Amino acid sequence: MAPTKKTQQPKGFAEKIEKIRKKLDEQKRQLLAEAEGTINDSMNPEIENFPDMGDQASAESDRSFILRLRGREQRYIRKIDEAIERIEKGTYGICESCGEPIGVKRLEARPVTTLCIECKTRQEEE
């Protein structure tokens, strides 16, 4: 059940959400900077110039790993954007499954979470 109304949050929640928002913005900035570095490195022809086939294979394997890592980071950036959108809508910190508030400690530990600990535990057990 998706939340449709604002749920009462604990005192000081707005200040904590502002800190979380800043943390999300900083994480996104760092991830985008790292991604830009990867793009710049992959366009550098000197990196690909290995005379030994073993070195070339190793470099290709490393590059493939980095690109998979960047794919995960791209998905995390989407989650960051979605969390920021929920903050702006006033629905941040509300479990998308049960509609109850998500604990502040959980939000601080995993700012992009959309489920309270009970619903997440239930989801993982299924």
* pLDDT tens per residue, range 67-78: 777 788 899 999
Question: Can you read off the two tokens belonging to residue 53?
Answer: 């086939």
Per-residue pLDDT of 44-87, as tens digits, reads 555 556 677 777 777 777 777 777 777 888 999 999 999 999 99
Whole-angstrom distance, CA of residue 70 vs CA of residue 92: 26
Could you write out the DSSP letters of every residue in 3-56?
A: --SPPP--TTHHHHHHHHHHHHHHHHHHHHHHHHHHHHHHT-GGGG--SSHHHH
Domain map of the chain by residue range? 13-92
Q: How confident is the model at residue 113, as a pLDDT?
A: 97
Residue 3 has pLDDT above 50, yes or no: no
Which is nearest to 31 in space by CA: 63, 70, 79?
70
**CATH T-level fold of 13-92:** Four Helix Bundle (Hemerythrin (Met), subunit A) (1.20.120)
More confident site: 113 or 7 = 113
Report CA dihedral (63, 64, 67, 72) to the nearest 10 degrees: -140
**DSSP β-bridge partners for residue 101:** 94
